[in-house]
Structure 1
């Protein structure tokens, strides 16, 4: 007999493609996931997955069931909303994906505020260098510096942040403060690893110049900032991270002004879930409230 509860295991395996990640998300043993999928296939008398070396791939029947199961999931999640639940009663896990720098230096501490008003919500803050697919449920909410493309996405601009050139006191004592943009060409820089840049707007130093002398590169903005603070050179850094480090000194702040917009994306299927809506609203509110912190020295 068909068991509705098996759809939970089916959806997670379809999204994760592997037993172990699906099991971790569901907080069960991987053998439980395998068994429930086998029982679901038996009860429906269809094959839902092809077992491939790189994971579980939905069959044609699997794709059909996936669309139905997602609608059921959405309807089930909307019960609290329909009965008048609010942020204080919203519960569950919400996975937010974004870039490392803004996650570590801005969002992380501000999510502690959410816990006060919505104690039942657990935020999972995931950092990635590439664009996240909300359609594949790689996350529930995506914070990006570019407007993402995808079917049935709800995307809105929630704010912006400024970047500026920074160096350390030690570096400037040794090399001197550049008097203008033209003098930057003779200085040493800290930058991203070019072939590891997955989102081109993140290579923001190119908005100022293409440096000829780079002493240190890293795929981590946090590592770049630490290198600059240690005297490795000049880097273009977001104000939300650099201004918190007293070792960093702005370089040509009146001449060099670079900005990036911030976009919040949610899939239409889950945008009205109470927990997702609470997290999305909180993110939008902090970007609006802290816009001066993000854009002014």
Structure 2
């Protein structure tokens, strides 16, 4: 098959119609339509159902698009490998991490990495969703649980310890809880929203020492971990937070120090095929060194 026509077909699917695909490729709509018709003639199958509202892939079109998508991904990967050198990492590196660890722990260290490797450009994607590394939604990830996929390389980084925190201003007004039962008399702040259940469970002071069917009421539920920490810092109540984000904050104090609190293991994860990419190696070694020195 003619790769130029396959590439054109791929762009038409992504664009949704011949006109937008032509604009992206710098050719007119009739030329795009003609080449797609030629491709269908050569393959002897229809690739699109043509409707006034746009194009819809046929079953054959779906099959060809998946193949074209795979070819595009592998070509991009090959191009990036060819432009990489083991002596001087270069190119774009897509890094994904959770909002909390990416927005605080990682963001504080990115400048040092960029200074060390000026030819690497970082695209930092902060999300609690686990992006598909195999489909190159990201090149490397920091995750808060061990990945199940067998084709992913994983390296444990560090343990993230969570504790209950309250602002000094809150404690001055309402006192400090000494026992779990004291939480019944305090304003509790929790993480909520569309988050993985294992993340939500870490923040549920409402359930600590209580029957799960009879939790304490939460004064505030917020769907963003950074906003939750801001609320704790500003005295809205008591909430759970990771030590890396709060232990050096002079505005807050760790409470319930004698109570055993949850923790998570963090992992650095990347696809097997990215093992020899220089910028991935450099970023991996940088983060592992930080983790080993307990650089918090």
TM-score class normalised by the smaller sequence: 0.7 to 0.9
**Is 1:60–2:63 an aligned residue pair?**
yes
Q: Classify the secondary structure of the residue corresponding to 1:179.
A: coil
Q: 1:75 to 1:126 in 2, by over 3 A?
A: closer
Q: Report the counterpart of residue 287 of structure 2 in structure 1.
A: 283
CA distance in 2, matches of 1:260, 1:32: 45
Does structure 2 retain, via aligned residues, the 8 Å contact 1:18–1:55? no
Q: 1:55 to 1:198 in 2, by over 3 A?
A: farther
Shift of 1:168: 1.0
* Structure 1: tracts of 5 or more residues without a match: 21-28
Q: Report the counterpart of residue 156 of structure 2 in structure 1.
A: 157
CA distance in 2, matches of 1:56, 1:138: 25
Q: Report the counterpart of residue 265 of structure 1 in structure 2.
A: 269
State the Cα RMSD in Å: 3.8
Moved >4 Å (runs of 4+): 1-4, 6-10, 17-20, 33-36, 38-58
**Is 1:206–2:204 an aligned residue pair?**
yes
CA distance in 2, matches of 1:249, 1:140: 37
Shift of 1:115: 1.2
Shift of 1:18: 4.5
Does structure 2 retain, via aligned residues, the 8 Å contact 1:80–1:274? no
Q: 1:73 to 1:138 in 2, by over 3 A?
A: closer
Superposed counterparts of 1:212-231, under 5 Å: 212-231=216-235
TM-score, scaled relative to structure 2: 0.76
Does structure 2 retain, via aligned residues, the 8 Å contact 1:48–1:60? no
Does structure 1 retain, via aligned residues, the 8 Å contact 2:152–2:269? yes
Q: 1:8 to 1:119 in 2, by over 3 A?
A: farther
Q: Classify the secondary structure of the residue corresponding to 1:246.
A: coil
Q: 1:145 to 1:3 in 2, by over 3 A?
A: same
Q: 1:253 to 1:144 in 2, by over 3 A?
A: same
Aligned length: 274
CA distance in 2, matches of 1:56, 1:156: 43
TM-score, scaled relative to structure 1: 0.76
Query: Which has the higher Rg, Structure 1 or Structure 2?
Result: 2
CA distance in 2, matches of 1:236, 1:30: 53
Does structure 1 retain, via aligned residues, the 8 Å contact 2:168–2:252? yes
Q: 1:202 to 1:73 in 2, by over 3 A?
A: same
Q: Report the counterpart of residue 86 of structure 2 in structure 1.
A: 86
Q: Report the counterpart of residue 106 of structure 1 in structure 2.
A: 105
